[in-house]
Amino acid sequence: MAEEIKKIMFTVRKPPHGSIYVYEGLEVKLIMAAYDADISVVFMDDGVYALKQGQDTKELGIKGFAATYGALMDYEIQKVFVDRHSMEVRGMTEADLLIIGEDEETEEPVKPRVIDSREIAAMMAEQHNILSF
């Protein structure tokens, strides 16, 4: 009997650059994506700042990770969501979000999908594991 594919969700709630959480979380996502798992990533609270386009870490003297987030779909991570409420209280709109890859068929740029907390809660309930960063 075939083993059931694991559903694993990552939640990102910390802001980028002030701590190592977001960067480490990205590393773990890329590692997990190499396994046969159903991966989803949800950015909420200050985590939504990790998806803001135009981050320039040169003056901080660190490499930054916006380029890697910009290629999440190339790493087989297709299910990327953002909490609408978290964006709204931070004055962010979908226009502020960076592009995470392009559609395989249309080659249109793809942005993370903005969803409501109710949808996030429903997805959480379906997971085998949820990893928080």
Partner 1 sequence: MLHTVNKSPFQNTTLMDCARFLQSGDVLLLLEDGVFACQTGTAHSALVEGLLQQVKVYALRADLKARAITQLIPGVQVTDYAGFVDLLEEHKVHSWL
Indicate which single residue of 28, 60, 122, 124 sits in contact with partner 1 (rule: CB under 8 A): 60
H-helix or E-strand containing 79? Answer: strand 79-83
Would you count residue 52 as binding partner 1 (CB under 8 A)? Answer: yes
Going by their DSSP bridges, the two strands 101-102 and 109-110 should be labelled as: antiparallel
Nearest CB to partner 1, comparing residues 2 and 95: 95
Nearest CB to partner 1, comparing residues 19 and 129: 19
Please provide the DSSP assignment of 21-68 as one string.
HHHHHHHHHHHHHTSSEEEEEEE-GGGGGGGBTT---GGGTS--SHHH
Indicate which single residue of 3, 58, 108, 121 sits in contact with partner 1 (rule: CB under 8 A): 58
Q: Which stretches of the chain bind partner 1, using CB under 8 A?
A: 14-19, 45-46, 49, 52-60, 62, 64, 89-91, 96
